[in-house]
Chains A and B, each alone.
Chain A
Amino acid sequence: MRYLVLLKAARPAAPPPPDLMAAIATLGEDATRAGVLLDTAGLAPSAEGSRLSVTAGQLNTTDGPFAEAKEMISYALYDVRGKAEVEEWTARFMQAHRDLWPGWEGEAEIWRAFGPEDFAPPSS
């Protein structure tokens, strides 16, 4: 099953500690090696992005930054046996933040991606 993990946190004033970056790199290697990590990347500040919305029949484009207190920091796409397994990999990722970046706070959300198997083919 495929899962998208989104990391959300306040955009930090200083770069993350090198130890954390090293731990994240090792974790990424482990997960790739195990055949479960399909893709991952950090996300640039929302100042470099934009938001398109449809409201009351109007399409609007607004440049970043977005006003939210938390931004999307990174994403990871996993191919695992089930939710417990993606939770395990994500727990390791969050524990590394907890242990190697004092005072850091943030949250990771796990979303299952629908696959072709979720949709019945047309019955025609």
Chain B
Amino acid sequence: MRIVGADLEEVRIRLETVWRIESGRIVAVLARLLGGDVGRAEEAAQDTVVVALEQWSIHGIPRDPAPWLMATAKHRAIDVVRRQATYVRKLQEVGRAMESRSGPDEPDMEALEEPIDDDLLRLIFTATHPALPATSRTALTLKVLAGLQTDELARAFLISESTAAQRIVRAKRTLLEQQIRLELPAPAERAERLAAVLEVIYLIFNEGYAATAGEDWTRPDLCAEAVRLGRLLSELVPDEPEVNGLLALMELQSSRLGARIGPGGEAVLLLDQDRTRWDRLLIRRGLARLARAEALGGSLLPYTVQARIAACHARALRAEDTDWQRIAALYTVLSYVLDSPVVELNRAVAVGMAQGPVAGLALLDKVADAKALTGNPQLPAARGELLARSGRSEAARLAFAEAAGLSRNARERDVLARRAAEPAAISARTRPSP
């Protein structure tokens, strides 16, 4: 049968679409069939995609593509296990080891029909395992749970395809070397491991929300992947306050994505945003999630506190309505539960807005003295903001220039450089008077 280009393209798009929806479930089931080996499961999953592309191109797209993919993937896994069993048996024959092999080498056929929610959760815990390098954790999570292919990972993180592939390879090697298998963490480790899951999801979100490098200020697709992962996790473990807290935080922050970019692609900072462009549906969902996190007892936990801060902004219809006293108080709470120089920096800015720039600058000096943020553009940018508000235009200009010099993101650099050029004018134009 001859395949015309359009058909092949249709097959490719349909396969990519179904794969992205089904990937997590399929890899989770494969990993269980393969004795908990996520690395081999990922390879078998890739084989399945290749087989599907071949078969669908020849025979057409199956009537029900998702079950087709799952069935084909299971057959791959059974083949892998049988081949290995045969290999082991041959080794034994050679070595005259006579004990019959059965059980562990045969796939557990009953397991084929089990509900897979637990497997999916196990897969999430495995892909985000703290033993993996940070870049491998985000890459593996997006690969197996969001169904992103290597080229899509490369585009998402602005890295080469070979670097993206390398991150997956390193993840699989670490899983193998450290003998990390598909399993739920022991009760004593659960809190720590759940924190690692949330950390990976928020890392993905933040890379999209405030891209650290590159030309674009935001990469909304990456934020959307993180939000979907957060929603998935909140369905699997609905009663964990911080799972709800993180989802609330991401939905509230996502509500501003459309307003963070101006007509020319330039960055628009929070207080300068057109709030009519905030996504009301995401705000409502985020506030509802936050209420759930609080009802579950999360009010003083890090992600929930951050969501409470984001909610303060979401509730202010105009920038000048922002309840800075409350935000400053929440940052103080946050500084007790999250030991982070970035939190201290944000707290300094909030205090500066609530109590005046002098109080904020005093806190900022402490952050600078601690040296943890040396080289981070946010530090001089915050200083510039507070200096501008205190009327010290020249010092503000120098601070913004320093920040612009440190930024690795083109859009962020532009907005900082603009403020370095005219801090007094911008301050007068957009800042609420104290």
Contact = CB atoms under 8 A, between A and B. Distances in A.
Most interface-central of A84, A121, A123 (chain B CB within 10 A): A121
A38 B235 CA distance: 13
Given A34-B228, A35-B229, A121-B277, A81 B20 contact: yes
A121 B227 CA distance: 25
A81 B221 contact: yes
B224 interface: yes
A109 interface: no
B263 interface: yes
Nearest to A121: B274
Contact of B258 (A33, A35, A88, A117): A117
Contacts of A88: 14, 17-18, 21
Interface string A12-37: 00000000000000000000111110
B30 interface: no
A68 B13 CA distance: 36
The B contact surface, by secondary structure, is helix
Size bracket of the A interface: 20 to 34
Interface in B25-71: 63-64, 66
B281 interface: yes
Contact of B235 (A32, A79, A85): A32
Contacts of A116: 257-259, 277-279
B258 A115 contact: yes
Contacts of B274: 121-122
Contacts of B221: 81
B262 A121 contact: yes
Nearest to B17: A84
A123 B257 contact: no
Nearest to B117: A33
B231 interface: yes
B230 interface: yes
Contact of B232 (A2, A33, A85, A120): A33
Nearest to A95: B64
Contact of B259 (A2, A34, A87, A121): A121
B232 A35 contact: yes
Contacts of B63: 95
What 4 A-B pairs come out closest when comparing CB atoms?
Answer: A116-B258, A35-B231, A35-B228, A116-B277
